[in-house]
Structure 1
Amino acid sequence: MTRSEREKMEAGEWYNCVDPELDTLRIAASEAVFEHGSLPPRQRGDIAPKLHALLGQVGEGARIEAPFHCAYGFNIFLGDGVFLNTSCTILDTASVRIGNATMLGPHVQIYCPEHHKGAAERRAGLEIGRPVTIGENVWIGGGAIILGGVTIGDNAIVGAGAVVTRDVPAGATVVGNPARPVG
């Protein structure tokens, strides 16, 4: 039996990202994100209705400032009291789990997809999704980039503009490109 590209993506295998079913899912996410960004703040609330319904989990008191962008939405799981500041981007081709009371500054980017290293495979649209897990009480400074496959432990701090390519232990502070521990 042949598996769909979505099934391959969900299994963490190489899949073709230029697939009609995946296009349809990305359009649904774009529509939810559009509603979130275009509703007046008092009408939108913490998360606009379509985006709230699309997300995999929304904890109590979670808030996403507009504008916001995600690839699919259903792979995003937000704990209680999570705050995403303006202009965050989450390319959720794999699971993105953000723990309770974690705050993301403006323009934070989380990139789960990894494109194939072979040029022919890239042209064919092959990519693989790597999950991202962010613990509780984490603070991620503005403009930070979190790459797929990374886990950030509870109570960690990621400095503004850092590029996180490796796991960050609980309680650690990392800065720079690539992110490295300080103090």
Structure 2
Amino acid sequence: MEDKLKIYYRRGTEELKRDNIRAHKLTQEFNNTDVEEFGKKEDIIRKLFGSVGGNPSIEHNFHCDLGYNIHVGENFYAGYNCTILDMAEVIVGNNCMIGPNVGIYTAGHSTEPKDRNKSGYAQPIKIGNDVWIGGSCTILPGVTINDNSIIAAGSVVIKDVPSNVIMAGNPAKKLKNI
């Protein structure tokens, strides 16, 4: 299998700090918005994300690194406490549902202790159309989850997921075809 693109970044650069502060301010504003201010919440998400389809819905306590690397399609839903570490692109298709307490992490660090705190790497994550990610799942760097698949609650996805399957466990394995 071909090694997926890794984007390397240095922690603490002024540009990264600026972009991270921008995202944190917007997520703070989003998370402090009244639950009935749907239009305001959507406006903030449209400022924060790189692109957003129609009818997005994200519950409170959302967090991300940069925001502009997140691209979501039509009818995107994310439950409470969703965290997306978007040091690389996260592309989500149409009609996707993400349960509560899900972590989508493009970022990683060196396994060498002397280098671990200085820099990191990121690999894009792609999630196809009509995907359902159950509560408390973790999606790791470089993963592609293809169309119509379900990731069962509590799963840790470490490798690509084919279309039309249910995956479960740690690490996630195919449970059955849909």
Q: Give the TM-score, by structure 1 length.
A: 0.90
In the other structure, the counterpart of 1:39 is 33
For 1:156 and 1:162, the matched residues in 2 are separated by 13
In the other structure, the counterpart of 1:132 is 125
The Cα shift of 1:48 comes to: 4.4
Aligned-partner residue type, residue 56 of structure 2: A
For 1:12 and 1:29, the matched residues in 2 are separated by 22
1:177 aligns with 2:170: yes
For 2:59 and 2:40, the matched residues in 1 are separated by 7
Structure 1 residues 46 and 58, CA gap change in structure 2 (3 angstroms): farther
Residues 108-164 of structure 1: CA deviation (Å, up to 9, x unaligned):
1000001011111113x2101100000000000000000010000000000000000
Residues 46 and 65 in structure 1, CA contact (< 8 A), matched pair in contact too: no
1:98 aligns with 2:99: no
Q: Of 151, 154, 157, which residue of structure 1 is paired with 2:147?
A: 154
The Cα shift of 1:44 comes to: 4.3
For 2:93 and 2:130, the matched residues in 1 are separated by 7
The Cα shift of 1:12 comes to: 4.0
Q: Of 19, 22, 43, which residue of structure 1 is paired with 2:13?
A: 19
Secondary structure class of the residue paired with 1:50: helix
The sequence identity of aligned pairs, in percent, is 38
For 1:65 and 1:13, the matched residues in 2 are separated by 29
- Number of aligned pairs? 172
Q: Give the TM-score, by structure 2 length.
A: 0.92
Aligned-partner residue type, residue 78 of structure 1: V
For 1:46 and 1:139, the matched residues in 2 are separated by 26
Secondary structure class of the residue paired with 2:114: helix
For 1:29 and 1:70, the matched residues in 2 are separated by 7
In structure 1, stretches of 5+ residues that fail to align are 1-10
For 2:86 and 2:22, the matched residues in 1 are separated by 14
Aligned-partner residue type, residue 151 of structure 2: V
For 1:42 and 1:170, the matched residues in 2 are separated by 36
